[in-house]
Structure formats: structure tokens, C-alpha cells
Structure 1
Amino acid sequence: MSNLDITLNVISDKEAQLTVKVPVGQIQGKVESRIRSLAKTAKIDGFRKGKVPVSHIRAQYGAGIQQEVINDVIRDTVFEALSEKKVRAVGVPNIDDVKLENEFLVYQATVETFPEVQVQGLSEIEVERQVASVSDEDVDTMIENLQKQRQTFEVKEGEVVDGDQVLFDFEGSIDGEKFEGGAATDYTLVIGSGQMIPGFEDGIKGMKAGEEKTIKVTFPEDYQAENLAGKEADFKINVKEVKEAKLPELNEEFFELFGVTEGGLDKLKVDVRKNMEREIKNATRNQVKQAAFDALLEKNEFDVPKAMLEQEIDRQRQQMLQRFAQQFGGNANFGADMLPNELFEDQALRSVRLGVLVSQIIEKNNLTVDQDRVTAFIKEAAENYEDPNEVIEYYTNDKQQRAGVEAVVLEDQVVDYLLEQGKVTDKEVKYQDLLAASQKAQSQF
């Protein structure tokens, strides 16, 4: 049993205050112990080491040592007090009103608390679940895309058409004046890729190697360079070389790139279809998860503790900085000060509210992780790797990695619960549309 005297005052549904009394004997004993310890090691003029009188140490350092002990005792007892009163604290407690009175050290600890939310409107939740199937045409399109990823370009005679790779010089001007970033030499562009502003690539179509002409284009109104936005520009184009795309043949060499050594094109189609069906399964899971969570949030709006919001903002900021570092390298000059809180507030608020609601659903319904689903999840993910057994063993034996999978599975179980409580309608969509919806959903988590 704790020897603390603790009084709990619930200020609101998201803030609590504890008044904690610690027997002063705990303070005095530790102060005396530190004073005696210091007396044995202190180097003070006029005294030999280890011969400094305890009374001298007490007189010179006693007040400072007592304050150190008080700080340590508060640090050691505040979380004990929170635990004893079953206060689910968010962030670091704010300590004030510290005083020694009679036989006790007394202090107050004010904390933000995890919101106690009554989840509302589950039976009113409506979710549209997008479903898709893989057609023969989808498989053929995917194989063509695999070819395009490995296409080469060969010099051609004749006019530029969509899909051609063009080597050219260009020089831009507005009202006869050149502008920064408006010129390049030996620029390479695949026509139809959409890399340039609207009208630029269309202006090159029909030209041949060795030709030169001036095209007129208008910068979009929302162009990132404000001095160019909405303005009409002239670009002098000099085409130096035109190449046409050559897709690799569907032969044994191509099939082997995807692990197909027997069965040829038919086996590749079977493998591609299997991968696409796996993508559909994952995409549907992501899309319906977002739809269910969006519906849940729509029915439940509430304030969240400031500390929780700040922690989530900081987490998202650090994630973005890590992505910048990966994308641009360690030399990229990105600092946290370049990413203000306002950039993350909306998404952070959504994440915190959702976390609270999911936690409440898990607690109120005694949901626990379905280990069979965890095993199935790991096995399915492992199928994408060359050695599935190695991946399965890794996730099975690494507690941290398995815990990550368990968190995902438990979240899926919450989604299943929401779908059981609400109304679900299926909508048939195209394969590509479902993948797009899934990617959008993933950006929300």
C-alpha cells in the first residue's frame, strides 16, 4: 500500500488535479543521507577530504540538497499517485503549490486526461464499400504497363507524336522579355507525360528533328511562380532528335524478369491476376476503413486535450521531415521551424479524435487481437517476397514488428464492428478507381 495521502479533484472531462501529501520523514531521511554522503567526498578549503563536519555541509548546502530531494520525491510519487487514482494522464503533469507543512510535503499536480467519450450513432453509420474484379482487359493493360516500364527509345524519322521522346532546346519570353527558368538546352521530354504546362507538349507535336518554331502557351492561374501565373508566353523550340518507344517483346527473357521460367505468357497472366486480386483486397480494406472512420467521426465531435494534439502534430512533423530526408538526402536543409503547427492541425485533430474513439470501442466491447488473423495477415504479406518463409519467421520472432501487425489487425476488427453496427452498401467500380480510392485513404492514416 502507498503511504501517500491523495485527493482527486476532477476539474472537467479532460482535466484533473491531485493534491498529494508525502510524509516528511521520507524527505528528512534522504536529505540527511545526501548530506553525510557529501561530507565524505566534498573538497572544501580548510578541511581535509572526508573530514568536513556534517554540520558545516548542512549549513552551507542543506537548503539546496533539500530542494533537490523534494524535486526527486515529487518526480517519483506523482505517477504513483496518478496510477493509484486510475487517472489516465496525457502529457506531463503540471506541478505547483509545493510546500512543507507540519508532517507532510504537499503539492498539486494538474494533468490533462484521456477523454471519456461515449461513442454515438453507431447504428446510423452508412458506409459505401467499393468492390472491383479483375477482367482480362485489366490483366492485359497491366502487362502492357510492365512493358512500358522497361521500354527503350530508338531514333525515328517523321513527326513527333504522343509517346515519343524528344531532345530539344527551348527559350521562353513574355512580351519579348526572357524570364528566369524559361530556357534549357538539350532538354529531354516524353510527349504526353504531362510534365510541362498545358499546351507546351501539344505545341511540339508534328515537329521533326531539325525544325524550329515558336509556340504560344499560357501559364496556369495557380502556377507556383506568381510572376508567371496567368501570363501568355512565347517559347522558341528547336527539335534536335526524335525517338519512338520500343516495347520489349513478350518472350522468355521478359517473362524471367518476373520469375516466370515455365508456362510463358499464360503463367505470367496468372501471376499478374493473382497480384492484382491481392491489391483489390487490400485496396477495399483501406477504402472501407476510411469510409467507416469518416462516418464514425461525423457522428462524434468532441474537444481533445491540448497535449494530445501537440504530440500528434509533432509526430506528423517528424514523419514529414523523415520523408524529406529520404527524398532529398541528408544534405537537404529542412528544419522543424519550416513546418508550422498550422500545417498539421486538421489532420492531427482527426487522428487524435479517431484514436480516442477506436480506443473506447476496443475497451467497451472487450476486443482483443485475433491471432489467427495476425498469422493470415503475415502470410499474405510474405507472398510478395522471394522467400516467404523468411518474412514469416521475421514477423513471428520480432516482438516489435509483430506488435505493429497486431495493431493493424485490431484496427481492422474495429472496422468490422462498425460495419456490423451500421449499414453497408456495395458499389462496383473499376480496378484503377478502387486503387486510387485506396491511395487516398492511406494518406489519411
Structure 2
Amino acid sequence: MATVIENLGKLERKVTLAVPQAEVEQEKQQRLVKLSKTVKMSGFRPGKVPMKMVEKQYGQQVEMEVRFDKAARLFFDITKEQDVKVAGQPRFEVKTEGVADGEVAFDATFEVYPEVKIGDLSGAELVRTKTDITDAEVEKTVDILRKQRVHYHPRGEKGEHGDGDGDVVAKNGDRITADFVGTIDGVEFAGGKAEDFAFVLGEGRMLSEFEAAAVGLKVGESKTFPLTFPEDYHGKEVAGKTAEFKITVKQIEWPHLPEVNEAFATSLGIPGGSLEKMRSDIRDNLEREVKRRTHAMLKDQVMEALLKASELDVPKALVEQDQERLVEMARRDLEQRGMPNAKNMPIPAEMFAQQAERRVKLGLILAEIVKANGLEAKPEQIKAEIEDFAKSYEDPKEVMRWYYGDQQRLAEMEAYVLENNVVNFVCGKAKVTEKAVSFEELTAANEGNGQAA
């Protein structure tokens, strides 16, 4: 007669597990004998501790371990035999009432995977953005690459690249080295003083009033000016207050951008310094970036459409497990940022409750839609994606080896391909309209949605 699994609600179940005490005692003794060979006690050599002392010291602990282990194995056998899909880990509680003589019993409470009902997707409305990379985008990227390789020369001093038009006053784009001191009501404040401080005018590293005061000054000149800190300034002690600053310029350097020539292309790793190949590679990289961003935007819409169209109960156990995963991810992130004691930092799991529930819900929906429609990632699809990704690197074959040499990396790419299959499937059911946007609009939209650049 099959063990009865009690239905406690939508997903919660309970089953009573009875284990003969004789079996528990037998395995307990076996474990104690094994333990006695390594246990250490004062006055005895290892392996020579009397069994009575080993049992007195460890008997109760070992017996509980055996009970729970046997209950867990029995639980696994019963759920497997009855084809019960257990979600998360069961909770075992010792049962004291209604237990037959010669037995130990546990109540195992657990959840099962829900039935996932995916509704009609034909009414979902999706927007597929389309962005063409023009010559203008390519040239803007060339300019960005030039600015990343900028080098500076003292204003007014003749050198290999000139003297900065002979002008000696500070302009936007110049790198300024200066001393400054700030006071509020005549008193200096923390962070308001520095010597030989370098910054580039126009980059926005300093507050706008500070940069404006430096523009037009010459080396050796000083200027005193008022500066009002914003109400939301990161330095709480000065936020919203007006300070008086004195700045003294010690050096002014003008920026020299490298010319777009063979030497520049070679510095970017272009064989032979071909400008045509450089621009072609830039275009290819931009088009890959467009593909990634537009796909991310479409995928977000698809996931929202699936959430709206699906009906299911979410197992609490899976949500709790995912909350813990998110907590650990947060700790690792803090650790990578150099936060002290990040591993032990108390992070309440509750703050991830909503995010975890959404992740679990989507995972269950995706699993169901993949299974029902045969959308599993095929080896040739995974290979094609890796090859496409590897194109942006100097040695694509090495990137291929890097992926195929690690099962976790390969699994991540498999998950990406699987999501692509789901996106394509849903797009085939839904109403999809195309919208042309510029590269700048696409970038702004992704940043607004919190997408990684």
C-alpha cells in the first residue's frame, strides 16, 4: 500500500515517514564504530577510545543524524515512486503522537511544482527596434577612441605638436593643476582643500561653478568665488550651503588628440594600420552592440508578456532559495568593490523578495514553454552564438576554447540561446511592430531601463 501524501493547500503537501528503530540503532552502531577509529579524547590514543565513552559522547548526535538521513532517503523514494515533483527542500519535524512501537517518525512538509497555464499570446503587442549604423556613428566612435588616447602639453610651450595656439589661458578641455581651499563662514571644512589637484575642464568632475571660475585664468593667477553646494550633494555636512573658494592655477595643459592615420589604427590592433579595416571593425562592433541592445529590449517585453499571460502559483521554498542566492550575489558584488567584511555583512533577504518571486515565476514559465514547444537549445545554435561573440576578439579560436573548456560558461551560453528561442517563439505568436531609432536613442533607452552598456 502506497504511503499517503496529504494535500495541505495549493502547493503544500505533507507525508509521514516511519523508520524502524532497530534499523536506526544498527546504522548508529556502525557509524559509532567508524567514528571510534578517529575520535580523540584526553588520555587515549586515537582509535583506542572505549566504545562506551564514544557512545556517551556522540551517541545522541549520531542517532539524530541517522534518523534524519533515513527519513530523507525514505522521502526521496516515496516521492520518486509516486512521481511527485518536489519544489525546494522538505522540512522534517519529529512526530511524537500516533507513532507505533519500535518506530521513529517524521512529518515531512514540502511544496510541489505548480501547473503553469500559458494563455493566448496573440494579443501581446511587442515593439522591435531597428537601428542602422551610419558613417556618422562610426566617426563618432573614432572620436571617442581618439579622446581615450589624448595626451596633454603645457600651454604656450612649443613642442612636437605645437604650443596650443599660443594661448596661455585655461579653456574647456584643458587639464588644470591647481591648489584650492574652501571655507564656510571663514572656517575650512573637510574635503574643501587640496594641493596639486588635477582635473579636466568640461568633464564635469567638479561642480560647474568651480570649473567656470578656472576658465580664463593663467598659470600663477588666483581667483576667489562663491560656490553653493546642491541640496543633494554627497557631502551631507556641506549640502545646500554656500562656501567661498580660492583657486590658484599652477599648470595648464592643452589636449592633443592623435591623428587618424596608420599609426592610430595600428595602436588599435589593426594589422597593417589599415584605416578601411579599422572603420569596418568599428562598424561590426557597433552592429553587434545594436543587436545585443535591441534583443535585450525585446526580451524584456517578451518576459512581461509571458508574465501577464500566465497563471501559476509560486512555491515559497523556491522564492526563499532565490532570495538567498541574491543575498550571496550582493555580498560578492560588495566584496569585489572592496567593501570590508562584505562576506559577513547582514543583508536582509526580504529586500529581494519581489525580485526573487519574479525570477522564480519566469523560470517556471520558461521551463514550461520550452518543454511544451521543443525550444531546447541545440548544440549548433550554441556554437553559432559563441562564434558570433568570438568575432569581436583578436583570437576567436581562443575564445571558443575558453567557452568549451568550462561547463559553467557553456551552460550560461546555453541559457542565453534558450531565451532567444523563447523570444523568437513568442514573437511568432504576438503582434510585432518595428520602430526605427537612432543609435543615441537606443543607448539612452537601454540606460533608462537599467541595461548594462
Q: Does 1:171 pair with 2:170?
A: no
Q: 2:328 and 2:70 mapped to 1: Cα distance?
A: 33
Task: Give identity over the alignment, percent.
Answer: 34
Whole-angstrom distance in 1 between the partners of 2:237 and 2:36: 73
Is 1:373 aligned with 2:381?
A: yes
Q: Deviations over 1:62-82 (max 9, x none)?
A: 877654432331132223333
Q: Matched residues in 2 for 1:403 and 1:188: separation?
A: 46
Opposite residue 196 of structure 2, the aligned amino acid is D
Partner of 1:312: 322
Letter matched to residue 296 of structure 2:
N
Q: CA deviation at 1:406?
A: 0.8
Q: Give 2:274's aligned amino acid.
A: G
- Structure 2 Cα separation of the partners of residues 53 and 146 of structure 1: 75
Structure 1 Cα separation of the partners of residues 231 and 75 of structure 2: 58
Alignment correspondent of 1:255: 265
Residues 390 and 419 of structure 1: CA distance in aligned 2, closer, same or farther (over 3 Å): same
1:12 is the counterpart of 2:20: no
In the alignment, does 2:416 pair up with 1:408?
Answer: yes
Give 3-state SS (helix, strand or coil) of 2:207's partner: coil
1:394 aligns with 2:393: no
Which residue of 1 is the match for residue 89 of structure 2? 92
Deviation at 1:341, TM superposition (A): 3.2
2:287 and 2:38 map into 1 onto residues whose CA distance is: 73
Q: Give SS of 2:188's match.
A: strand
For 2:363, which of 329, 348, 355 is the aligned residue? 355
The alignment partner of 2:3 has SS state of strand
1:272 counterpart = 2:271 = no
Distance 1:339 1:104, change over 3 A: closer
Q: In the alignment, what sits opposite 1:150? A: 149
Aligned to 2:160: none
Secondary structure in 2 matching 1:201: helix
Distance in 1 separating the partners of 2:55 and 2:244: 85
Gaps of at least 5 residues in structure 1 are none
Q: Cα 1:213–1:338, aligned 2, differ >3 Å: closer, same or farther?
A: farther
Contact 1:147 1:248 in 2 (8 A): yes
3-state DSSP of counterpart to 2:382:
helix
Amino acid at match of 2:152: F
Which secondary structure does the structure 1 equivalent of 2:122 belong to?
helix
Looking at structure 1, the residues matched to 348 and 33 of structure 2 have their Cα atoms a distance apart, in angstroms, of 50
Deviation at 1:374, TM superposition (A): 0.8
The range that moved more, 218-227 or 113-122, is: 113-122
**What residue number does 1:133 align with?**
132
Aligned position for 1:224: 234
CA distance in 2, matches of 1:63, 1:179: 64
Indicate which of 211, 221, 228 corresponds to 1:211.
Answer: 221
* Distance in 2 (alpha carbons) for counterparts of 1:60 and 1:277: 69
Q: Which moved more, 1:167-176 or 1:268-277?
A: 167-176
Q: Is the contact between residue 309 and residue 349 of structure 1 (CA under 8 Å) also seen in structure 2? A: yes
Go from structure 1 to structure 2 and tell me whether the alpha carbon gap of 1:440 and 1:384 turns closer, same or farther (over 3 Å shift).
Answer: farther
| Comparing 255-264 and 21-30, the one that deviates more | 21-30
Distance 1:345 1:125 in 2: 27
Structure 2 unpaired stretches of 5+: 156-166
Seen in structure 2, the aligned counterparts of structure 1 residues 219 and 57 have a Cα distance that, compared at 3 Å, is: closer
Which whole-Å CA distance do the structure 2 matches of 1:183 and 1:39 have between them?
69
Question: Any conservation in 1 of the 2:265–2:273 contact (CA below 8 Å)?
Answer: no
TM-aligned CA distance change 1:336 to 1:57, over 3 Å: closer
Equivalent residue, structure 1, for 2:332: 322
Following superposition, the deviation at residue 233 of structure 1 comes to 2.4
Given candidates 244, 257, 267, the residue that maps to 1:234 is 244
> What SS class does the counterpart of residue 339 from structure 1 fall into?
coil
Per-residue displacement from partner, 1:316-371 (whole Å, max 9, x unpaired)?
A: 2322332333333xx83434435333543443333222222222222333321132
| Partners of 2:124 and 2:244 in 1: CA distance | 55
Contact 1:209 1:242 in 2 (8 A): yes
> Which sits farther off after the overlay, 241-250 or 167-176?
167-176
From 392, 396, 401, the equivalent of 1:384 is 392
| Alignment partner, residue 292 of structure 2 | 282
Following the alignment from structure 2 to structure 1, what is the Cα–Cα distance between the partners of residues 195 and 49?
83
Which residue of the partner structure matches residue 115 of structure 2? 116
Match of 1:340 among 334, 348, 358: 348
Aligned partners of 1:148, 1:60: CA distance in 2, in Å?
A: 72
